[in-house]
Structure 1
């Protein structure tokens, strides 16, 4: 027969073995039930891009003959060809001694455009969605009847230049806020 000491040792050894097996089992189970995950969020930058459209004028770069007192169709609007909704403004540069634009305020009269006397831009009052287009700012230009034809004198003055600019609409509450924030950046372009 075994003595009591040996039985106690054996029982203690068995109990320790059970504790070790239990600890290993819990550890293995714990390791088995753990998880690890990683997520990569990729951002892309949008695109603000515009195109001045003049269907009555024809293709960009074409010329039209004009003479004193003659009107020529010119009907600029601006299309949003980018990916983001934007605000648009337009400045029209021309020699006021040579040309007049009889309906330049067409857009302001229909409440589509607002003229800012300080910076001389016409601001489109609404956001312009992707693939959408502003209304026309005017429909025609006219050479003043008082202009004396002299090819050399007029040569560099016979341009009516329509400059359009756009700023993303996201993050801004109005075209004023958008262009005030972007004026420095637009000046650098």
Structure 2
């Protein structure tokens, strides 16, 4: 019985070996047996789009000189409503930033009682940025707590002199992701001109306050270790994300010695005439 079983096992092995040999024998004369099919995955590419708005800014310009009437002939200590914010009008959530550029003047500040500052004439800003609840005599900057100031990204002051103005920039990142259709809180609600000696301000010099909004996708922004920086919008992560945006916004082509602008050119379109909404948030 044991012998017959062994013989049967041997026969099966031989047949398998013969079968393998036969398969190898026909392989050289016949094409491979093949089959194919496909599946198509359709994706839509997301779009990050924002509108910078200032609902409180009065754009009335009856004399058509491109300066709002309430912004003409501003006097020291005067306050004006100005409340920049960002609305996400794209299809994807975003991490958003605001950059505020203001002139600096070579002027002397004066206290409300007429006392001249001991610092004398120096390069300084001439506007405060305030909350709506701040009293007129509360003379200091008061930015909204939902925005994180990114001091390392700012230009503190290029230095004004008696013959030229300087520039100061602020950069803020919003502490939470901005979902489609959402608005940020306003970075500030009003501005106030400092009490300075007006005769020291250069005649016909620009007193523009420039506000720029930036946005980048709010997911899958990876650091060198592969960690998603948008998981936690800490000050450090916001700074890194802002750096990525700026680097992506302007690409340097070493081969041709040229710079190509992308999302950020440094000279952005007017929020009142660009994109889907005007400066007050109204649809065009």
TM-score when normalising by structure 1: 0.69
**Structure 1: unaligned runs, 5 residues or longer:** 1-34
1:185 corresponds to which of 240, 243, 248: 248
CA distance in 2, matches of 1:70, 1:181: 39
Which residue in 1 is equivalent to 2:90?
82
Gaps of 5+ in 2: 1-34, 61-65, 105-124, 132-140, 155-170, 222-228, 251-260, 265-284
The aligned runs of 1:53-132 (5 Å cut-off) are: 53-59=53-59, 63=68, 64-65=71-72, 66-96=74-104, 97-103=125-131, 104-108=141-145, 112-120=146-154, 121-132=171-182
1:159 to 208, 211, 217: 208
Q: Secondary structure at the match of 2:152?
A: coil
Residues 48 and 94 in structure 2, CA contact (< 8 A), matched pair in contact too: yes
Please identify, of 136-145 and 56-65, the stretch whose mean Cα deviation from structure 2 is larger.
56-65
Structure 2 partner of 1:32: none
* Cross-structure match for 1:9: none
1:170 and 1:154 mapped to 2: Cα distance? 48
What SS does the corresponding residue of 1:179 show, helix, strand or coil? helix
Distance 1:150 1:181, change over 3 A: closer
Q: Counterparts of 1:59 and 1:113 in 2: how far apart (Å)?
A: 26
Do the aligned partners of 2:129 and 2:143 also contact (CA within 8 Å) in 1?
A: no
- Which SS does the other structure have where 1:183 is aligned? helix
The structure having more radius of gyration, on CA atoms, is: 1
For 2:47, the equivalent position in structure 1 comes to 47
Which structure has more strand as a fraction of its residues? 2
Structure 1 residue 178 displacement after superposition: 3.3
How many Å apart are 1:133 and its aligned residue? 0.6
Number of matched residues?
A: 152
Call closer, same or farther: CA 1:133–1:154 in 2, change over 3 Å: farther
Bigger mean CA offset, 35-44 vs 131-140: 35-44
After the TM superposition, which of the residue ranges 82-91 and 43-52 deviates more from structure 2?
A: 43-52
1:80 and 1:132 in contact (8 A); partners too: yes
More helix by share: 1
Question: What secondary structure, in the 3-state scheme, does the structure 2 residue paired with 1:89 have?
Answer: strand
- In terms of mean alpha carbon deviation, does 158-167 or 91-100 score higher? 91-100
Asked whether the 8 Å contact 1:82–1:130 carries over to 2, the reply is yes
Over residues 66-116 of structure 1, what are the superposed CA-to-partner deviations in whole Å (9 max), with x where a residue is unaligned? 2222110001111011110000011111124322223453313xxx11111
